[in-house]
Structure formats: structure tokens, C-alpha cells
Amino acid sequence: MARLNFGERPSTQLRLALGAVALLAAVVFSGMQLGLISTPQGGISFVGGSLPSGPGVLNEGVVGTLETPLPLFAASGADRAVVALTYRALTHLDRGGSAEPEIATSWSVAEDGLTWTFLFDPAAAWSDGTPITPNDALFTIGVAGQLGIEGGYFDALSAEIGADGASLIVRTPREVASLPVALGALPLLPAHIFEGLPIDEIASSEAARRSVSSGPFQVTSISSSAAA
């Protein structure tokens, strides 16, 4: 069982318990395989250990073990659960499945229907204080393309940083009205951490173990036990 300590940005401490905790989540949520448990007081006990609880403590039980909690490289449900809490994309999807601003504050498409411009939130930053820039998106799209993510969808895109340095220009080979939606499913990688590394070494690199985050939480530590 893996245990991760999460730090809410900027202050509250949270812990994410993975792996065998899935059994506990299944019981608590009447057989659900993915559960989110937050307890204001008391403790949660199970055979072999217990989980921390109290104000500011989050326990999440998921099926699977933690392997690579990194965008594009997440290999398990546990990885994806962590990525969802720690990384943001250019857009996010509302309840109806439409794209809403996230790191990109707005976007537009040219009359040709092929050229999109995404403007970045100047206040967006990684947890180490480094600004999130179009270069992060450019790097992420490039990695996604080389990995063949979504059947090569991202490999077909052409992207570049706008002349103002604060926008990303994306060109598609044909009209794709759903591009902002597709980019909402692509959490950004921190280019300043991984740029220069061979793609096949990113997931196993030491940088991946201490990577910064852009989401509401960040991993502060990882241990092999969920016992408090």
C-alpha cells in the first residue's frame, strides 16, 4: 500500500492513501471502486493499519498501486487520480462537456478554421513559483505527439509560441471545433523540469519523483505504508 502526503497550495496538509485502501473505499461506498473520503474527526481503521483523519486531511481510496503520477505517463487508476489533483490543463470541462478557461484564459480560431490562439493566465504558476507559459504547453503537446497519445491526435497538431510570448498558436490539419475540449484532457508537464530529457527517461527520472504541480494539491512525500 502506498501513502502520499499532499500539501494543499498554499497551506493545508492532506494525505492520499492508495492501493489496498481501495477495499476500504469499496466498503464505505457500497461497492464503489473509486472513493473520496474526508473525515472531520475520529479515525479510519482497517486490518493492518489506520488512516489519518481530521480537519485538512483527505483520504482517497482507488483501485491499483501508484506507479507514475505524471501527466502522459500515468499507468494506473491511482496515478490518474493523483494527476487529477496535482496538474491542470489549458482548459477544463464543465458538466456538459464544454471547454472552460483554466490555464488558458481565452481562445479564438481564425477564419480558416485551422489556426487557434490560446491566451495564458499571467498569474498561473507551478508550485515552485515558476510561471506557467506557452512553452509548457508546447513541450507537452510535443511529448504527447511522440508518445502517440489519443491515437496520434496530438502528433497531427502544429504548435508555436505567439509573437507576444504569452499565447500559444495551434494549427490543425483540418477544422477541429473540439480542439479546446481535447486540450482539456492534456494536463501540462513542467517544461523547466523535463525539457532536455529523452522521452523514454522522463517517467523514471529523479525529476519525476519530485516534480512540481500546477493543481490545487502537490505531493509532499511518498511512503510504502498507509498506516498512520
Q: Could you report the per-residue pLDDT of 24-82, keeping only the tens digit for each?
A: 333 333 223 333 333 344 455 555 556 666 665 666 666 667 788 899 999 888 889 88
Cβ-based neighbours of 31, under 8 Å, separated by 6 or more: none
Output the pLDDT for position 218.
Answer: 79
Output the pLDDT for position 43.
Answer: 52
pTM over 0.85? The answer is no
Output the pLDDT for position 120.
Answer: 98
How far apart are alpha carbons 145 and 31 in whole angstroms?
A: 37
The ranges of the chain with pLDDT < 50 are 1-3, 10-42, 226-228
How far apart are alpha carbons 134 and 49 in whole angstroms?
A: 45
Output the pLDDT for position 55.
Answer: 63
Burial grade of 55 (CB within 10 A; 0-12, 13-18, 19 or more)? exposed
What domains can be seen in the chain, in order of their start residue? 3-87+213-223 (no CATH), 91-194 (3.90.76.10)
Output the pLDDT for position 222.
Answer: 60
Output the pLDDT for position 150.
Answer: 81
Q: What is the pairing mode between strands 115-120 and 167-171?
A: antiparallel
